[in-house]
Amino acid sequence: MKILITVAVIAAVLGLTVLVMLTGSPVPPNGSLENARQALVKAGKADALRYAEAEYRKADDLMKRGWMEMARQRGRLPRLRDYSVADSLLQQSMRDAYAVSRSSYKKMSDLRDDARREQEHFHREIVQWRSSLGATLLKNGTEKYLRQAEMAYRTCGRLISEGEFALAVKELEDGKESLRHLGDIFEKYSNDEALKIKSWRNWVNETLALSRKTKDYAIIVDKTKHKTYLVQAGRLVHTFSCELGHTPSIQKSFAGDGATPEGKYHVTQVKNYSKYYKALLIDYPNSEDERRFRENKSRGLISRGLHIGGFIEIHGSGGRGSDWTNGCVALVDDDMDKLMKFAKKGTPVTIVRKSDLWP
């Protein structure tokens, strides 16, 4: 009887062993574990935690579960160990990790390409704005916004090189906000110009007509072109480049605004000696300037403590390459010498922001 029981036990053990051998895996899948780890390392280098975090964490979880299953099997009797589930988990982890790497690289590439396209488009916008503003007097008033936009462009390029594509695009959005501010200024300037161009045209025509009638000299300043024209009997005699107040894009409203006035004036004093070489003093403010000043002050557009100002000249010491005066018109000294040969007290001086017909 004992012999029969022993034989039965041996048979059962042998059967179980055969069953394990046929259905399980008694060998630890160390290679699969290492492959899964390496695949996850590669996914990490592909910045998967940024571009495919959910998929990365799923693959990482499978690897950990496989590793824990290996540990659990090691705690069993050698003849009962079965690593097939652990191996399956690790194999799936490896496949998923490689898929995550591909997905992450693809997303990274797409984001990089998108950021570069945005950057190129933004650069074209900046170039177009510089070109458009070059034909206006808005350079001083808009330069800070252009500088901010250009800084955003350069910062975007640095962030792209560092792989920070989302931050690069965000930087461009900040730069676009600067261009939107610039656009608002440009629109206001263009609307103001469209309303006043007829008046400026009339001033020029009236000045030319007066010059033809008297056969005498007159001076016309075109602020946008940065040109001072000397005419006689309605015909152009000399053209001089000139520089203006440091805020040239507006009509002068009060003392200290840095704007060169726009209007019809006359020379009131010829100065052969001046702080700025030589000078022709004009009669700013005229009656129209005074009316506008009173109206703006009553509307609260000009603070109470400000006054209308004066002492506007055409003078020398120009040639600095930018608008720098407090509202005067500056010529280089040689051109001032030529102008002084013809100008005298009473010579008409017409200053317009833009002349679209003459000269």
CATH number at residue 344: 2.40.440.10
Single pTM value for the model: 0.72
Looking at the fold, whether 211 and 316 belong to one and the same domain comes out as yes
Q: Quick one: 157 exposed, middle or buried, by C-beta within 10 A (0-12, 13-18, 19+)?
A: middle
Of the candidates 252, 225, 271, 266, the one whose C-alpha atom is nearest the C-alpha of residue 328 is: 252
Of 191, 223, 255, the one marking the end of a domain is 191
Question: Is 79 part of a structural domain of the chain?
Answer: yes
Looking at the fold, whether 323 and 249 belong to one and the same domain comes out as yes
Q: In which element (H, E) is residue 103 found? A: helix 84-133
Question: Is 161 part of a structural domain of the chain?
Answer: yes
Looking at the fold, whether 329 and 221 belong to one and the same domain comes out as yes
Looking at the fold, whether 31 and 171 belong to one and the same domain comes out as no
Looking at the fold, whether 323 and 227 belong to one and the same domain comes out as yes
DSSP secondary structure letter of residue 246? S
Looking at the fold, whether 202 and 347 belong to one and the same domain comes out as yes
Question: Is 16 part of a structural domain of the chain?
Answer: yes
Question: Which range of residues forms the domain containing residue 124?
Answer: 110-191
User: What is the rounded CA–CA span in Å between residue 295 and residue 109?
Assistant: 60
Of 191, 221, 239, the one marking the end of a domain is 191
Looking at the fold, whether 116 and 258 belong to one and the same domain comes out as no
Contacting residues for 232 by C-beta, under 8 A, at least 6 apart: 211, 215, 216, 217, 218, 342
* pLDDT tens for the 359 residues of the chain, in order: 545 445 444 544 444 444 444 445 789 999 999 999 999 999 999 888 988 899 999 999 999 999 999 999 999 999 899 999 999 999 999 999 999 999 999 998 999 999 999 999 999 999 999 888 888 898 877 889 999 999 999 999 999 999 899 899 999 999 999 999 999 999 999 999 999 999 999 999 999 999 999 999 999 999 999 999 999 999 999 999 999 999 999 999 999 999 999 999 999 999 999 999 999 999 999 999 999 999 998 988 888 889 999 999 999 999 999 999 999 999 999 999 999 999 999 999 999 999 877 65
Question: Is 358 part of a structural domain of the chain?
Answer: no
Looking at the fold, whether 48 and 146 belong to one and the same domain comes out as no
Number of domains, the chain: 3
